[in-house]
Amino acid sequence: MGGSLTPERWLPIAGTVAPNRRNYGSIWSGIFILKNTAIGDFLSRVPVLGIFFRRKGGRVITFSKLLDLTPCLFLFSPTCPSYGWILSEEEVKLKGEEAHFALINVYYPNVPSIVTGQIFPVRKETVIKIGNPSREIVDLLLYALRSPENIRYLPWEGEKEDDFKKRAEYFGINLSSQ
């Protein structure tokens, strides 16, 4: 009896490692239960696996949606400009009054998968719109297999040229020569 591995002993173990048709119902019910808990919230952020735990109402950035967005360069940190895409602009109110700044919701892609990424709200003055098509920026991020001949930086609507040049200096961009 001691150390022999009989079918009565290994079949329950095999069912948890390699599920058969009878176990699919319990797997899906387990996912459903986890989906509605804090553990499901954590698992929803895991690439690929997160699809099973995502709750209704969230949006997924697909590659085709990404190509329709406006690319940008934003300050990920004071010394690290990064490429991203502009999702929206949000006006900010402090104590019921308009603030002196606006926030831009920027999609920051995780390279090389591009589609899995994060959304950061960043101050408008730390974002520069890029005039190149999104496809060129995607190609640039994919290990620069195809790089654009040049990158075109665009001011915000209604922004004065001098203010735009001054803001570009934060990024280390000298627009005086362009």
- Domain membership flag for residue 58: no
Residue 143 lies in a domain: yes
Number of domains in the chain: 2
**Residue-by-residue DSSP string for 16-47:** HHS--HHHHHHHHHHHHHHHTSHHHHHHTTST
- Establish if 118 belongs to a structural domain: yes
In a domain, 6, yes or no: no
Asked if the structure places residue 1 within a domain, the reply is no
Identify whether residues 165 and 116 lie together within a single domain. yes
Interatomic CA distance for residues 44 and 38, integer angstroms? 10
pLDDT of residue 24: 55
Q: Please write the tens of the pLDDT for every residue from 28-66.
A: 666 666 666 777 666 666 655 566 666 655 566 677 888
pLDDT at 51: 60
Same domain, 134 and 168: yes
For residue 33, being part of any structural domain is answered with yes
Structural domain range at position 28: 11-52
Residue type present at position 1: M
Q: Is 118 exposed, middle or buried (0-12, 13-18, 19+ CB in 10 A)?
A: exposed
Task: With respect to residue 73, please indicate whether it lies within any of the assigned structural domains.
Answer: yes
Containing 103, the helix (H) or strand (E) segment is strand 97-109
Contacts of 76 (CB under 8 A, 6+ apart): 82, 108, 120
Give the residues of the chain that fall short of pLDDT 50. Answer: 11, 14-15, 17
159 in the same domain as 101: yes
- Same domain assignment for residues 68 and 29: no
What's the confidence (pLDDT) of residue 163?
93
Residues 100 and 170 placed together within one structural domain of the fold: yes
Residues 31 and 71 in one domain: no
Whether residue 163 lies inside any domain: the answer is: yes
Q: How far apart are CA 22 and CA 28, in angstroms?
A: 11
Rounded distance between C-alpha atoms, residue 51 and residue 62, angstroms: 13
22 and 105 inside one domain: no
Walk across the sheet containing 127-130 and list its strands.
117-123, 97-109, 80-94, 70-77, 127-130, 153-154
Q: Which residues contact 131 (CB under 8 A, 6 or more apart)?
A: 152, 153, 154
**Is the domain of 73 the same as that of 106?**
yes
In this structure, the answer to whether residues 48 and 69 fall within a common structural domain is: no
Q: 89 and 44 share a domain?
A: no
Which pLDDT does position 99 carry in this prediction? 85
User: 35 with 72, same domain?
Assistant: no
